[in-house]
Amino acid sequence: MLIAAAGCGVAGPALAQTPAPARSVLGPWVGTYVCAQGLTGLTLSIAEATPTQARALFHFYADPRNPRVPTGCFTMTGQYDPASGRLQLKGGDWLLKPGGYRVVHFDGHVDAEGRRFSGKVSGAPACKQFDLARAPSPVTPPATCAIAMPVAQADLQDAGSLGDALTNAGRVDLNILFDFAQATIRPDSLPQLDELGRILLTPALSARRIGIHGHTDAVGNADANLRLSRQRAAAVAEYLQRAFGIAPQRVDVQGFGKTRLKQPRTPEAEANRRVEIVLLD
């Protein structure tokens, strides 16, 4: 059985004592992998890579050293841990399938410079390793082998409403909601935090410091609300550091309790329990 091979693997998050700069993996990676059909050319286009979701297109073709390999492509999904540089992708749906081929998975690491991505191929017999680098693809893919690339690769002004608000106004209120008297981030808030993490890694903002400011509603003791607001801001900062490698020195965590209500006419409103992001310098 001939094998197409696709995917990359992530271990559980492993935090260094001082987070290293996040390694961007978005965009094309070019190189080879080895399975039953022998050495095979590959362009892996990564469209999204976060701890909660990764998407890529696996486009394989003949390497000059093994010219009998056909062309094929399929989608991939998985996870990425920016702190360790480990990426996990599993083969998904075929877009162009040669007879007898099937998808597999990658489990690899991006090096500290973000220039090489290598690791093991699994999911089918006779698969061994892959080795990819940053380079233009040497082949033109068929029209069926295409994937929409992310706004995170574009300039920040093209990164959508959150990026627009942050750059135009210098601050933005995240729609990160918290239960009453709690500092635990709700799971439905993670997509917005992932969007913020990607924006903070774009060239326009990668060197900027940000304020992460927590706020509560007006219910309860002022001192307790002040502590809670800082805990909420710290929860957002911890997620960005763990998931995207945002260095602690880039963030200023503060809590303002109930002193800056977003909806002062409805002081008990859920919208007052929020986290604000501010560009500092």
Q: What is the CATH number of the domain that holds 180?
A: 3.30.1330.60
Angle ∠(263,267,270) on CA atoms, nearest 5: 75
Task: Report pLDDT for 12.
Answer: 35
The amino acid occupying position 108 is G
CB atoms within 10 A of CB 169: 10
What tens-digit pLDDT sequence spans the chain (281 residues)? 455 654 333 333 333 333 344 456 878 899 999 999 999 999 999 888 877 788 999 999 999 999 999 999 999 999 988 778 899 999 999 999 999 999 999 999 998 777 899 999 998 889 999 999 988 888 988 989 987 654 333 333 333 567 777 888 888 888 777 777 788 887 777 778 888 888 888 777 888 899 999 998 898 899 999 999 999 999 999 989 888 888 899 999 999 999 999 888 998 888 888 899 999 97
Last residue of a domain, one of 102, 136, 170: 136
Phi, psi of 227 (to 5 degrees): -65, -45
Can you tell me the distance from the alpha carbon of 22 to that of 12, in angstroms, rounded to the nearest whole number? Answer: 16
Task: Report pLDDT for 8.
Answer: 34
Q: Which domain holds residue 60?
A: 27-136
Q: Is 54 inside any structural domain?
A: yes
Q: Is 5 helix (H, G, I), strand (E, B) or coil?
A: coil
Q: Are residues 167 and 104 in the same domain?
A: no
Q: Are residues 67 and 167 in the same domain?
A: no
Task: Report pLDDT for 17.
Answer: 37
The amino acid occupying position 8 is C
- Token digits for 98? 């040669």
Rounded to two decimals, the pTM is 0.56
Q: Are residues 91 and 183 in the same domain?
A: no
Task: Report pLDDT for 113.
Answer: 74
The amino acid occupying position 281 is D
Q: Are residues 195 and 114 in the same domain?
A: no
Q: Is 116 inside any structural domain?
A: yes
Q: Are residues 194 and 80 in the same domain?
A: no
Task: Report pLDDT for 19.
Answer: 37
Burial 224-258 (b: 16+ CB within 10 A, else e): ebbebbbbbbbbbbbbbbbbbbbeeebbebbbbbb
Query: In the chain, how many domains are there?
Result: 2
Q: Are residues 267 and 180 in the same domain?
A: yes
Q: Is 156 helix (H, G, I), strand (E, B) or coil?
A: helix
Q: What is the DSSP letter of 63?
A: B
- Token digits for 128? 């061994």
Task: Report pLDDT for 213.
Answer: 95
Can you tell me the distance from the alpha carbon of 209 to that of 249, in angstroms, rounded to the nearest whole number? Answer: 8
Q: Are residues 216 and 185 in the same domain?
A: yes
Task: Report pLDDT for 41.
Answer: 97
Last residue of a domain, one of 83, 108, 136: 136
Can you tell me the distance from the alpha carbon of 114 to that of 51, in angstroms, rounded to the nearest whole number? Answer: 17
Task: Report pLDDT for 24.
Answer: 63
Last residue of a domain, one of 84, 102, 136: 136
Q: Is 185 inside any structural domain?
A: yes
